[in-house]
Amino acid sequence: MTTFGIDLGTTYSCIAYVDDSGRAVIAKNAVGEDTTPSVVYFETADNVVVGPEAKRSALLDPDRVVSLVKRSMGQRLDLDFDGARHTPESVSAIILRELARAAAEQTRLEVRDVVITVPAHFGVAEREATRNAGKIAGLNVLNLVPEPVAAALHYEAITGAGNRTIFVYDLGGGTFDTTVLRIDGTEISVVCTDGDHRLGGADWDARIVDHLLSEFMDANPESAADGSEDFLQGLAIAAEEMKKGLSSARSRRHHVRFDGEAARVELSREEFEELTADLLERTFEITRRTVGLAAERGVTVFDDVLLVGGAGRMPAVAAGLREQFGFEAKLHDPDLAVAKGAARFALIESVKVRLPGEDASDNAVVSQVADQLGLDEAEVRMLARKRITTVVPRAFGVKVLKSGPGEAEIHQIAHVLQANTPLPAHLVPHRFRTVYPDQTAILVEIWEQAGAVASAELPDNTKIAEGLVSGFPPLPEHSPLNVTFSMDELGTLRVHAVELTTGKDLRLEVRIEGLSAAEVGLARDTVARYDLRE
Ligand code: ADP
Ligand code: MG
């Protein structure tokens, strides 16, 4: 059975597989396009629409349209459509279901085993939510793969083997990521990664919307247009079109109309670049941070700088990277690279599932798997050996008391496992001390950094687990507690805390479930009940 790779994007999604000839190919959607807007229109109580028509429906029926849902993954968010409860997971599941349905229809293959891409910066909760979205869609999620790793797999497939270091600049619709990777034929390893999950093409659109609106209001000062939600939705769509047009044309024009009033607004590429210069500069600040971090790890030369993500098509991106960093950035199949690489990863996973561990040296098993997957044996062995190593996406730590004796209690997070530590990571024990006299229990709270930059302040972190070390007699204050963090390749965090005078300990394994199994089951029924219409 073919395993599919799915790029579940903030604004556009895409599904691909590796065909019999070994090429990664896109399965087109119901209207014959390679990518599908990640937009869901809850048309009626039993009918949903996904894709381009859903995007257009945002104009007519904005309250029943959900877009940019990826930005809410991993958060509790309850939506209600006609009495059916929805979450970011279930809305994403509807997108996945439509991608799978259209792909099955187009390829005549069964779409059940999949891998789904996630941004490199996704934390534990976001990853778990993505897995659950796949389950709700009725899919078997073999694994998740970071988007830059997928881009690198596609890059490797088209450029051939050899040792290379690449810099991936991914400016998508709603997120921005930079990642440095090493490729060497048998292994792809992430050197470091950074990004801003609230910065993307949609922010460039918003600047054009502001511009169109202010020009229109200047021409029609009495107009009520700026209070109309429908009008603003329409401007957003026009703005995205103008932005895309300005990637090839020097200037674009738009007729803004509202209630019989009109304004003709002209926007040149230069003006557009001025309106958005600070946004671009934010991507360069992050680029600079990533270059610095890579240098600390001994990586100072990049064989290729790849632009993935649709917004990397804006000419100012490559121009700025050349000017500020001397990079000769290349567009790397910006809409499809991630899905095609995910398809390669899907093939690797399907081999590994059938050939766990030492089976790779068992010739009979290898030949059987080669038969099943329609590959030759050498290829099966090569795929089974392929290693992918990533880094810790965000820092993890323990909540500690910051204030001194007699002061009001202020807590902060002491990060123990730093972002960008290579995985698997096994840290040496970290020493903490109790703060109160006669403690008979120690509460250990594990927190994860929330934003891109590590900060000790509580609001910049999210609590992901807690537990008590207890069962000892009252301890003197300042008693030592050792806390050891480790994280495996899949990002599962294990924490071991030991009270050193008695040896009493606590083991925590952090796997955020997000939705419970029962909730996943319920959501699956809800999602399966809808008729899908493209
Ligand atoms: P995501 O993976 O976040 O969904 P994509 O990588 O598909 O995003 O990129 C979508 C973004 O790229 C959107 O903001 C879209 O407007 C923008 N985009 C697509 N084509 C162009 C273009 N020719 N010029 C500028 N921006 C573009
Ligand atoms: Mg993307």
How does pLDDT run across 28-71, given as a tens digit for each residue?
999 999 999 999 999 999 999 999 999 988 888 889 999 999 99
514 lines ligand 1 (CB under 6 A): no
Task: Identify the pLDDT of residue 59.
Answer: 81
Confidence of residue 357 (pLDDT cuts 50, 70, 90): low
Using a 6 Å cutoff on CB, does residue 195 contact ligand 1? Answer: no
Positive/negative CA dihedral, 306, 311, 313, 319:
negative
DSSP strand pairing (113-118 vs 84-86): unpaired
Rounded to the nearest integer, the mean pLDDT of the chain is 92
Q: What is the total residue count of the chain?
A: 534
Residue 495 CA to residue 484 CA, distance in Å, equals 6
Pairwise CA distance, residues 254 & 265, whole Å: 5
Q: Tell me what pLDDT residue 360 has.
A: 65
Measured at the alpha carbon of residue 390, what is the angle toward residues 387 and 391, in degrees to the nearest 5?
155
Full set of structural domains in the chain with CATH = 4-163+334-387+519-533 (3.30.420.40), 201-275 (3.90.640.10), 396-503 (2.60.34.10)
How high is the pLDDT of residue 266? 95
CA distances from 197 to 65, 173, 194, 201, 212 (A): 22, 10, 10, 12, 26
410-428 pLDDT, tens digit per residue, is 999 999 999 999 988 999 9
Give residue 265 CA to ligand 2 midpoint distance, Å: 30
Which residues are registered as beta bridge partners of 398? Answer: 414, 446
What spacing in Å lies between the alpha carbon of 457 and ligand 2's midpoint?
A: 30
Which amino acid makes up residue 429? P
Let me know if 503 is exposed, middle or buried by CB neighbors in 10 A (0-12, 13-18, 19+): exposed
**Pick from 54, 134, 53, 41: which is nearest to 82 by CA?**
41
CB 331 within 8 A of CB 307: yes
Residue 148: closest CA among 168, 166, 162: 168
Q: Does 204 or 123 have the greater pLDDT score?
A: 204
Q: Give yes or no for a cis peptide into 422 (omega within 30° of 0).
A: no
Mean pLDDT across the stretch 91-117? Answer: 97
Dig out the tokens for 504 from the structure. Answer: 């009493």
* 530 Cβ closer than 6 Å to some ligand 1 atom: no
4 pLDDT more than 60: yes
Contact 165, 194 (CB under 8 A): no
- Does residue 96 contact residue 50 with C-beta atoms inside 8 Å? no
pLDDT given at position 358:
60
pLDDT of residue 511: 66
- Structure-block tokens of residue 255: 């007729």
Atom 7 of ligand 1, residue of closest alpha carbon? 12
Backbone angles phi, psi at 42, to 5 degrees: -85, 85
For ligand 1, mutation pick of 246, 313, 332 (most atoms within 8 Å of CB): 313
Distance 9 CA to ligand 2 centre (A): 5
The angle that helices 517-529 and 88-107 make with each other, rounded to 10 degrees, is 50
- Residue 443 tokens read as 């509460």
CA 213 to chain centre: 32
Beta-carbon contacts of residue 521 (< 8 Å; ≥ 6 apart): none
The response to whether residue 70 sits with its C-beta less than 6 Å from ligand 1 reads no
> How confident is the model over 477-487, as a mean pLDDT?
94
Pairing between β-strand 40-44 and β-strand 47-50 as defined by DSSP bridges: antiparallel
Q: Structure tokens of 195?
A: 């990004």
Cβ–Cβ under 8 Å, residues 307 and 317? yes
Instruction: List the shell of residues around ion ligand 2, using CB closer than 5 Å.
Output: 9, 172
Share of the chain above pLDDT 70, in %: 98
Determine the atom of ligand 1 nearest the C-alpha atom of 10: 4
Question: Using CA atoms, how far apart are residues 10 and 31, in angstroms rounded to an integer?
Answer: 20
Look at residue 534 and tell me whether its pLDDT is greater than 60. Answer: no
69 lines ligand 1 (CB under 6 A): no
**pLDDT band at 84, cuts 50/70/90?**
very high
8 A C-beta contact, residue 421 and residue 374: no
Q: Is the CB of 335 under 6 A from ligand 1?
A: yes
**Ligand 1 site, residue 10, Cβ cutoff 6 A:** yes
Q: What is the pLDDT of residue 37?
A: 96
- Model-level pTM? 0.91
Q: How far is the CA of 434 from the centre of ligand 2 (A)?
A: 45
Q: In Å, what is the CA distance from 360 to each residue of 214, 278, 395?
A: 64, 51, 35
Q: Specify burial of residue 453 (Cβ count, 10 A radius: 0-12, 13-18, 19+).
A: middle
In the predicted structure, residue 22 carries a pLDDT above the cut 80 = yes
Pairing of strands 65-66, 79-81: unpaired
* Alpha carbon distance 3, 264 (integer Å): 50
Q: Is the pLDDT of residue 452 over 80?
A: no
How far apart are alpha carbons 170 and 338 in whole angstroms? 10
Are 90 and 78 within 8 A, CB to CB?
no
Closest CA to 417 of 432, 429, 402, 433: 429
